[in-house]
Structure 1
Amino acid sequence: MPDPIIIAVPKGRILAEAVPLLARAGIVPEAAFSDEDSRALRFTTSNPGIDLIRVRAFDVATFVAHGAAQLGIVGSDVLAEFDYSELYAPVDLGIGHCRLSVAEPASLAEQGDPRGWSHVRIATKYPHVTAAHFTARGVQAECVKLNGAMELAPLLGLAPRIVDLVSSGRTLKENGLVEVDVICEVTSRLIVNRAAFKTRAEVVPLVEAFRKAVAQDVAA
């Protein structure tokens, strides 16, 4: 019997939206998968030929790119940051809607228009996307890499501005920050390891199952 197909799914905000999508694709995880307190990392599903792993969003792309998982669910922000050639992203899943934005303290926002910047110092976990965005505008971006607690950077003087995911904007507001520029809109995508797509016969029907699951959601 061949090894199970492994699908990497991100922890956090996308998880709750991913579970019903998986179910519509015919994949129902064991109960522990939706338990954020569970320390387990690999889970069985209603399909004996498919297992799920639950990892950090940035790690989903790495697991799939290197073939440790054959498929994954990940935000388009992660795909843009890493740009792995080994990944194929055939389906926009239409979940995890948010945007990647530039934010700064409200007091700073009153002083100048982003279009007039020539140099910026920015805290972000997206240094590649951030630098490319500003380079395209002729602005030199000095990126300070952080993996979390981005809103603290302006408050503690690490960097006056941040680039981070924004959904409702509540976290920014609570920390005295305002959104001043949108780099891109973000949704979650189904990603596939290119080699697995060619060599594992089970992968193509799975991709179609996800495509149909998205269509059902849109129709509903």
Structure 2
Amino acid sequence: MSLSIALTKGRLEKQTVERLAAAGYGIEALKDKGRQLVFQDQVKDIRYFLVKANDCITYVNHGVADIGVVGKDTLLENMNETYELLDLKMGCCKFIVAGLKDKNPLMKFGHIKIGTKYPNVCREYFQKRGMDVEIIKIDGSVELAPILGLCDGIVDIMETGSTLRENGLVVFDTVCDLSARLIVNKASFKLKQAEISQLLEDLKKVMEDESC
């Protein structure tokens, strides 16, 4: 049976394509794709298509894609009805709580304001700490919010921390570690178990070779 795989555009797409190439899949069209969004594997009975991160979950949830490759940050923030099968150990970063050096929001009593692109992740984190938090949704540069006094701190993704340091912010806590995950539609997992298991084996083998 054929498989449909939704790949998150950008860096994860590039890293996933490299893994598939190493596993012997026919992904030549993905390497020189232009503006094309849908691709047929030249070796396997697999169709790939490129989507934004949030849409990757949507396509897999609805069964349009059997499989998706998406960041754990997106899975945590959005309603997800899929199975998470494999930590791909790429796109590694962290959810962190940060702010101005002398204004740690975690040490503040009473009501606090936190700026973030990830309100659901932020809300769950502060609720577990029993803190009274007002979440301010920000779509642009979150680092700007505490500098201009909009909020007491931020919850954001950090890879190297250079952007935080350049803007005078420090990390106060790590919410969780993040990386790319392989997700699968629940119905597809039952109906196409052999094909999905083969893909998993191939990717795991490549990951083992990478760690040697």
Same fold flag (TM > 0.5): yes
TM-score, normalization by structure 2: 0.86
Q: Give yes or no for contact 1:30–1:44 (8 Å, CA) kept in 2.
A: no
**Percent identity of equivalent pairs:** 40
1:211 corresponds, among 193, 204, 209, to 204
- Structure 1, unmatched stretches of 5+, are none
Amino acid at match of 2:19: L
Distance in 2 between residues matched to 1:113 and 1:124, nearest whole Å: 14
| TM-superposition CA deviations, 1:111-168 (whole Å, max 9, x none) | 4462445433222222111111111111122222233432233344443422111001
TM-score, normalization by structure 1: 0.83
1:14 corresponds, among 4, 12, 15, to 12
Q: Give yes or no for contact 1:8–1:55 (8 Å, CA) kept in 2.
A: yes
2:84 corresponds, among 89, 101, 108, to 89
| TM-superposition CA deviations, 1:185-215 (whole Å, max 9, x none) | 1111111111111112422322222222222
Distance in 2 between residues matched to 1:113 and 1:50, nearest whole Å: 48
Deviation at 1:78, TM superposition (A): 1.7
Match of 2:43 in 1: 47
Distance in 2 between residues matched to 1:211 and 1:146, nearest whole Å: 37
Match of 2:75 in 1: 79
| Paired residue total | 211
Amino acid at match of 2:92: H
2:114 corresponds, among 122, 131, 135, to 122
Q: Give yes or no for contact 2:94–2:174 (8 Å, CA) kept in 1.
A: yes
Distance in 2 between residues matched to 1:149 and 1:89, nearest whole Å: 30
Q: Give yes or no for contact 2:116–2:156 (8 Å, CA) kept in 1.
A: yes
Query: What SS class does the counterpart of residue 65 from structure 2 fall into?
Result: coil
Query: What SS class does the counterpart of residue 13 from structure 2 fall into?
Result: helix
Q: Which moved more, 1:88-97 or 1:55-64?
A: 55-64
- Structure 2, unmatched stretches of 5+, are none
Aligned CA-pair RMSD: 2.4
